[in-house]
Structure 1
Amino acid sequence: MPTATAADAALLGQVTDAVRLAARSLRERFSTDTRPGDLDAILADLAANDGTVLDILKAPLLAARPGSGWVEDELDGGALPPGEWWVVDPAEGNINHVHGIGEWAVTATLVRDNAPVLTVVHLPLTQDTYTALAGHGAHLNGTPLRPSAKTELGAALVGTGQARPGEDEETLRRIGASVTAMLLGALVVRVSVPATLQLIHVAAGRTDAFWQYSDVRSGLLSGALLVSEAGGTVTDTHGRPWSLASEDFLAAAPALHAASVAVLSALH
């Protein structure tokens, strides 16, 4: 993974300000009393949330890095063309937002030649901001993050979740099998969305591992950089180096990575 430059470090402050400003608009749209009545209402609310944030966030980020690209589909996956790209989720956990649940955030990650170099994750309801610069650590509101020091999988709080609606049957079966396997191996398994909000807990040492059968960039890139810069281990579920071309994902506390791989790699 490349090391962020001095220019990247200066850019991080701009990105943080832009994300916080855009996130304020999403906070204004949030209500714990929201109760969407059907799929059409859900889809309309999801689109409105995305549009509200992107109207504020997209132009400043592109202007901050002239010549950078913009990934339009937040649910897309796979490797990107060479160069710099912004991978943004305007409402990470949007499905929670439109149902009046408070687990959502706004994220922005700068990717250079398929490696994340900086990321910002802002949680408007708590005003917490998670940041990471490649080679320079990960922070919560300016305080360094550290992963869990646990050494036994049997004492671990771990998690997974669904990356997108409409996953194919094979992927859904793999998710179910992995949950069963981890229920037998770990202490407690959380199954929830979005991925980023589980990954910030791994980076902060509150939880011990997270895996997902997915290549959705927007849900994994920011958390991957936060976990690795905090000192955690990021691979695929077989323990191989993770990249945007990987089919699945694992982030774990260092001393629990091998045990997590042993459980998950046995499933396929």
Structure 2
Amino acid sequence: MERDLLAARELAAGLAVRAGRLQLERRDTLKMGAPKAHVNDVVSDVDIDSERLIVDALLQQWPDDAVQAEEGHGRPGTSGWSWIVDPLDGTRNYVSRTGPWSVCIALYQGDQPRMAVVHDPAADETFSAVDGRGALLNGEPIAASSEPELEKALVGVSFQPNPRTKDRAGRVIRQLLPLAGDIRRIPAALNLVYLAAGRLDGGLALDTNLWDIAAGALIAREAGVVLGGHGPEFTTELTIGSGPALWPTLSEQVREVA
């Protein structure tokens, strides 16, 4: 079944902006729920309402599609198309006002990503991509960094804050920090789209979920970012990304300890 991917991107971008506006408007009145997988895995009523806004609108337009969504609004489908939704990637940053967060929507045909949107509400930036058509930031083309030297590179690091993953992240940071220009810790989706925009020269994410990286990964690849993991394909366990010039050095250093 064919689909107008440009129209799908326009709808997804509009929904991401609407969800981001809701998040900004309700930041002072949000209510926290019980932690999910571990004590640092937090959720608010704004996460849940943002997801409902997005999923309801998508299914109104394409009622036969499947949905994978972080806060429980997923469902099977029959069309062969699946929406991957993270309504608020970086909830702890959002609720604590200590950093950026984003709204993430990706569309898969089977197991292939075809369209993606990542919206940063605070910065009013919308990153997007359609398979084979390049990556955009607020409608303008973006491209990966050409920096070849790790000692000059700015590297983003993303990881789940559970004990096992924090131990892995500690090993990676100890390996990279003396070698890289500097390191930034940011949520996974923004890590990937900052790679796409050339703001970061390299990045890695440990123990994510598909909804954390699905949208950002397509945008990064469409911008010329090389992505991989322990093998040639990135995984939720390990995602490494950089421009082609930095890839051999960065991937070798991360794989050695991750």
Name the TM tier (shorter chain): 0.7 to 0.9
Q: What's the CA shift for 1:73?
A: 3.3
What is the SS of the residue equivalent to 2:44? helix
Give 2:253's aligned amino acid.
V
Give 2:6's match in structure 1, choosing from 4, 9, 34. Answer: 9
C-alpha contact 1:22 1:57 (8 A) present in aligned 2:
yes
Whether 2:258 is the aligned partner of 1:265: answer no
Give 1:9's aligned amino acid.
L
Residue matched to 1:232 = 225
Structure 2 CA distance, aligned partners of 1:234 and 1:63? 34
Aligned length: 249
C-alpha contact 1:119 1:133 (8 A) present in aligned 2:
yes
Whether 2:181 is the aligned partner of 1:221: answer no
Residue matched to 2:241 = 251
Whether 2:179 is the aligned partner of 1:185: answer yes
Percent identity of equivalent pairs = 29
Higher helix fraction (1 or 2) = 1
Give 1:51's aligned amino acid.
I
Alignment RMSD, CA only? 2.9
Structure 1 CA distance, aligned partners of 2:112 and 2:42? 32
C-alpha contact 2:47 2:71 (8 A) present in aligned 1:
no
C-alpha contact 1:82 1:113 (8 A) present in aligned 2:
no
Whether 2:194 is the aligned partner of 1:201: answer yes
Q: How does 1:66-81 map to 2 (within 5 A)?
A: 66-73=63-70
CA 1:239–1:172: 2 relative to 1, 3 Å: same
Whether 2:59 is the aligned partner of 1:62: answer yes
Residue matched to 1:150 = 147
Residue matched to 1:173 = 167
C-alpha contact 2:42 2:92 (8 A) present in aligned 1:
no
TM-score, normalised to structure 2's length?
0.86
Structure 2 CA distance, aligned partners of 1:267 and 1:22? 38
Q: What's the CA shift for 1:13?
A: 0.8
Residue matched to 2:75 = none
Structure 2 CA distance, aligned partners of 1:213 and 1:104? 17
Q: What's the CA shift for 1:12?
A: 1.0
Q: What's the CA shift for 1:162?
A: 1.8
Give 1:186's aligned amino acid.
A
1:45-66 deviations in Å (ceiling 9; x for gaps): 8230112212321111123333
Whether 2:155 is the aligned partner of 1:161: answer no
TM-score, normalised to structure 1's length?
0.83
Structure 2 CA distance, aligned partners of 1:239 and 1:95? 31
